[in-house]
């Protein structure tokens, strides 16, 4: 859970989003170079990247919540029925974590680019000239 708390610090999340948007921009530049060289096979990788990033974040959250819930259930069953200070404290801690699970284990995708727009806007010109291909 600490990793998710870290990623959800505004400054860290902003940096993560910036990095992911920069990766997306690099894919765009590489994609343009490919499309210049292969006009018959032109495509745009950005929609695939956009889906993958959001899906990957969602899967990380789902997996982590599932694993934490599994271990909380095990702790709960271990300490339930025991009348000691330690058992009471353990059960309180388990409940406290359960109550906070959905607010801590999350990854914001706010700010991730998803617009396609004009493919030539704000990119450096591709330096690759199409070559004659043997056909």
List, for residues 56-111, the tens digit of each pLDDT value: 999 999 999 999 999 999 999 999 999 999 999 999 999 999 999 999 999 988 88
The torsion defined by the Cα of 92, 96, 98 and 99, in degrees rounded to 10, comes to 130
Look at residue 35 and tell me whether its pLDDT is greater than 80. yes
Alpha helix stretches (DSSP H) within 1-135 = 2-7, 10-37, 46-79, 85-104
Higher pLDDT residue, 100 or 135? 100
Question: Does 118 score more than 80 pLDDT?
Answer: no
Is residue 72 within 8 A of residue 105, CB to CB? The reply is no
* CB of 112 closer than 8 Å to CB of 17: yes
Q: How many CA atoms lie within 13 A of 55 on its CB side?
A: 6
pTM, two decimals, is 0.74
Question: Per-residue pLDDT for 9 more than 70?
Answer: yes
Please tell me the predicted confidence (pLDDT) of residue 43. Answer: 86
């Amino acid at each position: 859970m600490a990793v998710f708390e870290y990623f959800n610090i505004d400054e860290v999340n902003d940096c993560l989003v910036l990095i992911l948007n920069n990766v997306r921009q690099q894919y765009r530049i590489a994609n343009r170079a490919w499309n210049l060289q292969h006009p018959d096979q032109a495509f745009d990788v950005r929609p695939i990247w956009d889906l993958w990033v959001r899906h990957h974040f969602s899967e990380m959250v789902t997996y982590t919540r599932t694993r934490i819930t599994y271990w909380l259930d095990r702790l709960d069953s271990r300490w339930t029925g025991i009348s000691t200070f330690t058992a009471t404290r353990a059960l309180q801690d388990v409940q406290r974590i359960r109550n906070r699970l959905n607010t801590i284990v999350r990854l914001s995708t706010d700010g991730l680019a998803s617009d396609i727009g004009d493919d030539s806007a704000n990119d450096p010109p591709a330096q690759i000239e199409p070559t004659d291909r043997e056909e």
